[in-house]
Amino acid sequence: QLANKARTEKEEKMSQAYAISAGVSLEGQQLFQTIHKTIKDCKWQEKNIVVMEEVVIAPPYQVENCKGKEGSALSHVRKIV
């Protein structure tokens, strides 16, 4: 259990470090952290946030920048944004 927690925290820190090195805005970093709290399946793809392999949020990370197949995943992510 401790090993899983350590691995999870390491992955989160690596994700934050990537975002900073890629030049992602502070708003983008905060949005990623907010989404990651409720949906663990999110990652960076360059400066885009990819959620559940279905929704892509591009800079400047507003509701209108959420792209994906219409459905519950896109709707849920838009509510978070």
CA-to-CA dists, residue 68 to 16, 65, 78, angstroms: 24, 10, 11
Per the structure, how many domains does the chain have? 1
35, 20 Cβ separation under 8 angstroms: no
pLDDT, residue 12, reads 85
Residue-wise pLDDT for 21-40, tens only, equals 889 999 999 999 999 999 98
Helix axes 26-38, 72-80, angle to 10 degrees: 130
> For residue 14, what are the domain limits?
2-80
SS3 for 18-39 is HHHHCCCCHHHHHHHHHHHHHC
What global pTM score does this model have? 0.87
Reading the block at residue 31, the tokens are: 């949005």
